[in-house]
Amino acid sequence: MIFQLCYLSNATRDMQREDLVDLLSVSRRKNEALGITGLLLYSGDRFIQLLEGEEAAVRELYALISKDERHRDVTLVYEEHVQARTCPDWTMGFQAMPESEWLEFPSPDGSERGLRPMLESMSRAKAVLRSVAERGLDPARGL
């Protein structure tokens, strides 16, 4: 079984192309060493990230990410064990998303865009991540 964890966060500053390239370079090296794969989506000042691998490694990385000063309001969307990785070939896939994609995506506590329940947020997060992974997009697209 593979452990997956997905979270949302808000950037503390405007992320430029160079910032994202640096972030991805470091993340990909670290994830490869830890046996972690995943996908980072970015739009405006928002991130959503899927991490997958051995549970202890993923939880340890998430704890470090939660303390990273480049973002705030880190919110766990879901965590679960699955049969197979969603992004087996990506130490950290990346996709820049249009701002409109987030309009349909409430906060997990339901506080944004119509007070949707957490379960719907989890469903939407999984759908967005699977859609990007299944399209086989270049993980460096948007940079």
CATH number of the domain that residue 16 is part of:
3.30.70.100
Structure tokens at 37: 């794969």
Q: Which of 71-85, 88-102, 126-140 has the lowest mean pLDDT?
A: 126-140
pLDDT at 118: 42
Q: What is the mean pLDDT of residues 102-115?
A: 46
Handedness of CA 22, 13, 133, 91 (dihedral sign): positive
Asked if residue 111 has pLDDT above 70, the reply is: no
Asked whether residue 87 is assigned to any structural domain, the reply reads yes
Range of the domain at 97: 2-134
pLDDT band, very low/low/confident/very high, at 114 (cuts 50, 70, 90): very low
Number of structural domains found in the chain? 1
pLDDT at 124: 61
- Could you report the per-residue pLDDT of 7-16, keeping only the tens digit for each? 988 889 888 8
Rg for the chain (alpha carbons), in Å?
14
pLDDT band, very low/low/confident/very high, at 137 (cuts 50, 70, 90): low
Cα–Cα–Cα angle for 36, 125, 110, rounded to 5 degrees: 130
Q: What is the mean pLDDT of residues 59-83?
A: 90
Asked whether residue 141 is assigned to any structural domain, the reply reads no
Asked if residue 108 has pLDDT above 80, the reply is: no
- Could you report the per-residue pLDDT of 11-58, keeping only the tens digit for each? 898 888 888 888 888 999 999 999 999 888 888 788 888 999 999 999
pTM of the model: 0.74
Asked whether residue 104 is assigned to any structural domain, the reply reads yes
pLDDT at 93: 82
Give yes or no for a contact between 9 and 46, defined as CB atoms under 8 angstroms apart: yes
The percent of residues in the chain predicted with pLDDT above 90, rounded, is 24
Asked whether residue 143 is assigned to any structural domain, the reply reads no
Asked whether residue 142 is assigned to any structural domain, the reply reads no
Handedness of CA 90, 63, 118, 11 (dihedral sign): negative
Asked whether residue 140 is assigned to any structural domain, the reply reads no
